Amino acid sequence: MTTGSGTAPAPPEAAPPAEASAAARPAAEPPATAGPPAARRGSYRRLSVEARRAELLTAALDLFAHRAPEDVSLDDVASAAGASRPLVYRYFPGGKQQLYEAALRSAADELEQCFEEPRSGPLSARLSRVLDRYLGFVDEHDAGFSALLQSGSVAETSHTNAIVDEVRRAAAEEILLHLAVKEPGARLRMMVRTWITAVEAASLIWLDEEKRPSLEELRDWLVDQFVAMLTATAATDPQTARVMKAALRMEPADGPVGRLARRVVPALGEASHLLS
């Protein structure tokens, strides 16, 4: 599944002249009086440039996680961070579009990390742990995840699309590393990238279906999907066949692949006429 770019992005919110000039000087914290009343009464804290930017980004990420980008304003971010609108512009002079892209980059980094897993033990167990992290992210950032991957957001640009595509490619590369293939052929690479797309699509459908079935059932089904796609590709691609044989040797009989085989073999037995 891919994100579309047919909707023209809304122009970033323009900073007033005073705010725009302040944006050029992010190193200096504004005086305490620049904050909202609650901040001036004692919650205001002087932070380093990096810490303040991270605080604003965290507030933005939380808002984008539960609301579509077009429904979040700079005032919302400022309020959530206990800051002022001029302060947000100081750190993100490009306005909401720059802030959204920075938040998206942060979320993309987190999604990429979901696919990092030690390359030892049965492949199905590794995929299960990867999916636990990935689907946990989807569950926590439901509205934001939908806005991230579905077309139509007014904050969508070629830049945001590139960030999302980078996550897909990074995820595919991690999976190929788990398959221990130094130079994957076109069919194996296509199969892995297709599975990544299927994981995305299933995640969005799961959100649309009010998070049914359970995360555990969805995870197990997606592992089964990977095994099925690997098997189908191995039937016509020698490289994938070698990869599959090596992976199956590490799978225990009581693991996900063993359980899948015991479900599938009887069903295929009923279609023995196909083998004649």
Residue 43 clears pLDDT 70, i.e. is over it = no
Q: How far apart are CA 258 and CA 241, in angstroms?
A: 18
d(CA 64, CA 145): 9
Model confidence pLDDT, tens digit, residues 106-124: 888 888 999 999 999 999 9
What is the pTM (predicted TM-score) of this model? 0.76
pLDDT tens figures, 240-250: 999 999 999 99
User: Does residue 148 have a pLDDT over 80?
Assistant: no
| pLDDT value of residue 30 | 46
